[in-house]
Structure 1
Amino acid sequence: MTPTPHLHGIIPPVVTPLTPDYQIDEAALRRVIQHLLAGGVHGLFLLGSTSEVVFMDAPQRREVLRIAVDEVAGRVPLLAGVIDPTTDRVIGHARDAQAAGVDGLVVTAPFYARTSQAEIIEHFRAIRHAVPLPIMAYDIPVCVHVKLERATLKALRAEGLIEGLKDSSGDDTNFRLLAVECQDDPDFRLFTGSELMVDTAFQVGAHGCVPGLGNVDPAGYVALYDAARAGDWTAARSIQERLIRLFAVALQGTPRTSGGASGVGGFKTAMTLLGLIPHHHMHRPNLPLNAEETGRVAAILREGALL
């Protein structure tokens, strides 16, 4: 098992391909994983937001983990999102993930019901005590409607309940302040969930990135990480700006679809055009991109020399 404190680099949240009847497409998922590994990624995040985790029941989640653990065969660390509204459900998913053989867990604050910061700490404490796997906290207030405050993260870290943070809050000021606060704790892993501010995040101390767009162009994000590690910020900025232009694939479904469906749908549509997956639909009720929107995604891929 690879300890979570050594996580670094590009760890994409793996898209989950579906069959026409909304089941896990095993052959396509294996191709996606092969594509990501060939791109040089440093780990994989299964069952995250880009994976459509909240739309999956427990058997589907177990199926994703079974396929991924088998396909990766220990080549890179695997993190599993164990995302659900209640502590006991999360513990159930965490036990399934542990049994599947993943290296760590990714946990959000509870959602739907309103939760205090004290209750969030108790949530993480109960999960960590029930399942002895490293935990990466996941701050995504746009989905769970509560923020993991810096004081809460500090308390979780002090108690040994978390090993790092995936920050998808979009709050760059808070991320910068957190990076400063964590300078005396070099083993605490800071990851940005932003596709568009990665070079900046690396400059202020991030250890890695969890980019949904990395499903489409994993090698591009690995090149950005390598440039940042080398201190070549001119190259990093150039690569980042190319990826910003490519990110337009995630914007083509709106306003007809929701932002989330446009984003994941854009990634899936691009991956269909690249021959990685056969179908670009998502779990219901999310609407897939239509023919006109798909044409715009194809044009973006051609402009980015991917198609």
Structure 2
Amino acid sequence: MNPAPTGRTASAASTASSPWGLGGLTGVVPPVCTPLTPALEVDVPSLERLVDHLLGAGVDGLFVLGSTSEVAFLPDAHRRVVLDTVVKHVAGRVPVLGGVIDMTTLRVIEHARIAAEAGCDGVVTTAPFYTRTHPLEIETHLRQVADAVPVPVYAYDLPVSVHSKLDGQMLVRLAAEGVLAGVKDSSGDDGGLRTLLLALRDAEAAGFSVLTGSELTVDTAFAMGVQGVVPGLGNVDPAGYARLYRHCRAGRWDEARAEQERLLRLFDIVNAGSPGRMGRGSSALGAFKTALHLLGVIDCPLTAPPQVPLDAAETGFVRDRLAAAGLL
């Protein structure tokens, strides 16, 4: 897996010193959950165990401070603890991408510089949000972030949260110019994803990585030509996604389909939370953390407020799904 600097993000020094080569980011890159203590501080020992859980399963990289990491809920000091902990514990074994998600360009640049200083191999940013932004403003934002840091920049297409769909032609243009190293596509737009992959191929944008965030259609996405997957459920069953990736890469599509369908059944844990007392995000992130707690990976399943933790019955729902998937 190689998150290679491209275009103006690649200096001679950075490419010469990079252990990741020049091929582009590939494989399974889980968005790492952020374990918290009962006092809502970052639980560093649990985070280190989670990193070991993921690396031991054969993942190809780690993405910290993404949506599954609860980045939108974490104070800046928590973010820095996560970055420092993971980069130090990984110690160069796989690339680490740092989410630098925030509302405006200046804030994102500040986060990006901190992530680069912490030793992240790349940074990931959405479009600006809260205020409405024009497509040209989004492009300016991405260019300015890329200009501000010495590491590769990946765009994060997340319209459900950002309320802006990244324009495919813009992504192809920024790929061809070397401004962006890749994109994480969490749009859920399979037609748009395939159109983007075709346009990138036509533009011969070598080294630009397209990573799907749609963890339930990974086999389909790899068949279309994506380079990697960023699965939230990969925190719980990283070995399953590693197997799925290997099947896809080897063209074993029947085996890939079977593994994908097993993971789809396991994904039902995100429905643990009662919609009468919590939102979809609380249910999904709470289920991931509850599963990690039941598996003995993290000490506490709490999510950051105002999210609501799972109760005993909901925890039992998660336990039953883990057992059915062969994880307990």
- Shorter-chain TM-score: which interval? over 0.9
Q: What is the correspondence of 1:227-266 to structure 2 with a 5 Å cutoff?
A: 227-255=247-275, 256-266=277-287
Structure 1 residue 186 displacement after superposition: 3.4
Partner of 1:213: 233
Write the distance in 2 (CA, Å) between the matches of 1:57 and 1:246.
Answer: 31
- Bigger shift: residues 246-255 or 60-69: 246-255
Pair 1:58–1:161, CA change in 2 (3 A): same
Structure 1 residue 159 displacement after superposition: 3.0
Match of 1:113 among 124, 128, 131: 131
Write the distance in 2 (CA, Å) between the matches of 1:153 and 1:181.
Answer: 10
Partner of 1:284: 305
Partner of 1:38: 56
Q: What is the correspondence of 1:80-159 to structure 2 with a 5 Å cutoff?
A: 80-159=98-177
Write the distance in 1 (CA, Å) between the matches of 2:149 and 2:175.
Answer: 17
Using the aligned pairs only, state the percent identity. 53
Structure 1 residue 155 displacement after superposition: 2.6
Match of 1:18 among 31, 36, 59: 36
* Alignment size in residue pairs: 307
Write the distance in 2 (CA, Å) between the matches of 1:3 and 1:108.
Answer: 25
Q: Does residue 1:167 correspond to 2:188, yes or no?
A: no
Pair 1:45–1:72, CA change in 2 (3 A): same
Structure 1 residue 291 displacement after superposition: 0.8
Considering only aligned residues, what root-mean-square deviation do their CA atoms show, in Å?
1.1
Structure 1 segments, 4+ long, off by >2 Å, are: 1-6
- After TM superposition, the score normalised by the length of structure 1 is 0.98
Contact 1:191 1:209 in 2 (8 A): yes
- Bigger shift: residues 153-162 or 261-270: 153-162
Letter paired with 1:126: Q
Pair 1:204–1:254, CA change in 2 (3 A): farther
Q: Does residue 1:189 correspond to 2:213, yes or no?
A: no
Structure 1 residue 158 displacement after superposition: 3.1
Structure 1 residue 6 displacement after superposition: 2.4
What secondary structure, in the 3-state scheme, does the structure 1 residue paired with 2:102 have? Answer: coil
Contact 2:176 2:205 in 1 (8 A): no
Contact 1:4 1:104 in 2 (8 A): no
Structure 1 residue 58 displacement after superposition: 1.6
Write the distance in 1 (CA, Å) between the matches of 2:191 and 2:274.
Answer: 28
Pair 1:4–1:193, CA change in 2 (3 A): farther
Q: Which runs of 5+ in 2 are unaligned?
A: 1-17
Write the distance in 2 (CA, Å) between the matches of 1:125 and 1:153.
Answer: 11
Pair 1:221–1:62, CA change in 2 (3 A): same
Write the distance in 2 (CA, Å) between the matches of 1:247 and 1:233.
Answer: 20
Partner of 2:9: none
- After TM superposition, the score normalised by the length of structure 2 is 0.92
What secondary structure, in the 3-state scheme, does the structure 1 residue paired with 2:127 have? Answer: coil
Contact 2:158 2:165 in 1 (8 A): yes
Pair 1:277–1:131, CA change in 2 (3 A): same
